[in-house]
Homo-oligomer: A and B are copies of this chain.
Amino acid sequence: MADYEMFDLGDVVLQSQQTIRNAKMAYKTYGTLNAAKDNAIVYPTWYSGQHYENEWLISPEMALDPGKYFIIVPNMFGNGLSSSPSNTPEPMNKARFPKVTAYDNVRQQYRLVTEKFGIESLELVTGWSMGALQTYHWGALYPDMVKRILPFQGSAKCSRHNFVFLEGVRSALMADVAFADGFYETPPTKGIRAMARVYAGWGFSQAFYRQKLDLEMGYASLEDFLVGFWEGIFLPRDANNLLAMLWTWQNGDISKNELFKGDFPKALAAIKAKAIVMPASTDLYFPPEDNAIEVSHMPNAELRTIETVWGHFAGGPGTSPADIKVLDAALRELLAS
């Protein structure tokens, strides 16, 4: 029994001039939309994540309180629930699934929010990692609708270094002959395990490993962590889906569209929302420096770096309790302002 709902988008023409026919957006909501329809929050998913993997930040004890807010978690295209390589019928399935941008995702999320729920104003958009990328898009594409944004451990554009990191991930997966150019019948597990090991060095910081926090997470050894945590994250996920979202990530840029025509500072300047931008001090692929550049162009934004050794996973799905407190407090402060 699915714990989420589906929004039928019809035929969606993408920035890539490809079409997802009978496109679907899977989503889940938490809490109740009030009569004024002014208590809504959008909280998009991260790379490979599905809505339930966002739930660690939603709780009556936390800023994202479903007793107060109506929280919509839209699943990103390619994540296996919304239209994806793994669930799209021939001929647009598997490696032929269209290229989807974060812009495309947010344009369709807007339709969900407005057409399905009749919401005209958002209290907040927030998200981790690629969820942050979508958060920035919401701010730049719908400046009069989005009151606040809190992107954490993400950026408004995939940096060149981040792109290179992802090239390593992508190449490791595709090196497996079982991948078969995406037309596999059984999963290319060797490639997925390889990409997991590539990812492992990036996801947590040097200091995290130096302090052996992997062992404190309940793993018996580094190898136990690499298999149990990292290979465990990616093995259940479909290889083409992973590559589709990776393309979305690598091509993320709030200015690559008809509104901003590649003018990145202009796109950032268009974000009217009150913003707290929260990088992690030790994030290896979203370093604070990139966010500092972004914030310098945003009219109403504060850079607030989380000092942590957890690297990118400072805002990961519930892994670092201390960092979550800092994040949650910032969300509470922003929502109260």
Listed in ascending order, the chain A residues whose CB lies under 8 Å from chain B are 159-161, 163-165, 167-168, 170-178, 190-191, 193-194, 197-202, 204-210, 212, 222, 226, 284-285, 287, 289-290
Cβ of A249 to closest chain B Cβ, rounded Å:
14
Q: Which residue of B lies closest to A163 (CB)?
A: B222
Cα separation A202 to B168 with both chains bound (whole Å): 10
Cβ of A295 to closest chain B Cβ, rounded Å:
15
Partner of A206, one of B161, B176, B198: B161
By a CB distance below 8 angstroms, the chain B residues around A287 are 206
Cα separation A190 to B172 with both chains bound (whole Å): 9
By a CB distance below 8 angstroms, the chain B residues around A167 are 197, 200-201, 226
Nearest first, the 8 A-B pairs at minimum CB distance are A168-B198, A171-B194, A161-B209, A172-B172, A177-B177, A175-B175, A165-B201, A160-B209
Q: Which residue of B lies closest to A215 (CB)?
A: B160
Residue pair A210, B171 in contact (C-beta under 8 Å): no
Residue pair A194, B175 in contact (C-beta under 8 Å): yes
Cα separation A168 to B195 with both chains bound (whole Å): 7
Q: A222-B160, A289-B207 are in contact. Are A171 and B172 (CB under 8 A)?
A: yes
Q: A161-B206, A209-B160 are in contact. Are A168 and B168 (CB under 8 A)?
A: yes
Q: A206-B289, A289-B207 are in contact. Are A175 and B190 (CB under 8 A)?
A: yes
Partner of A201, one of B164, B178, B190, B212: B164
Q: A160-B222, A175-B191 are in contact. Are A168 and B201 (CB under 8 A)?
A: yes
13 further interface pairs, Cβ-Cβ under 8 Å (given A167-B197, A284-B284): A161-B201, A164-B200, A164-B209, A165-B201, A168-B168, A168-B200, A173-B175, A175-B191, A177-B178, A194-B194, A198-B198, A201-B202, A207-B289
Cα separation A208 to B197 with both chains bound (whole Å): 24
By a CB distance below 8 angstroms, the chain B residues around A190 are 175
Q: A172-B198, A176-B175, A198-B171 are in contact. Are A164 and B290 (CB under 8 A)?
A: no
Cα separation A198 to B171 with both chains bound (whole Å): 8
